[in-house]
Amino acid sequence: MGKEAKKKVKKEKDAQLVLRLGREERDAFVELCQELDSSASREVRLFIRRFLKKHAEENSD
């Protein structure tokens, strides 16, 4: 298998979601993400994907 075939196909990220929350809450979230070797963006994307999947399954019943 060639190098090109092994590469993961990444979906282009072309939109932003802006939200407002308190500075202390944001800072605690970012710090915890760093401690878990993750990023705030990654964790929010993961939450959104799980949320969408859960509700898509509920609506398909």
Residue 1 lies in a domain: no
Model pLDDT, residue 57 = 81
Q: Please indicate, yes or no, if residue 13 is contained in any of the structural domains.
A: no
> Residue 49 falls within a domain, yes or no?
yes
Give 2 or 25, the one with higher predicted confidence. Answer: 25
Q: Who contacts 33 (Cβ-Cβ below 8 Å, separation ≥6)?
A: 39, 40, 42, 43
Residue 8 lies in a domain: no
pLDDT at 35: 98
| Residue 29 placed within a domain | yes
Task: Evaluate if residue 3 carries a pLDDT over 70.
Answer: no
Domain hosting 49: range is: 23-61
- The answer to whether residue 12 is domain-embedded is no
What is the per-residue pLDDT across 6-58, written as a single tens digit (0 to 9) for each? 566 777 889 999 999 999 999 999 999 999 999 999 999 999 999 999 999 88
7 part of a folded domain: no
What pLDDT does residue 59 have? 81
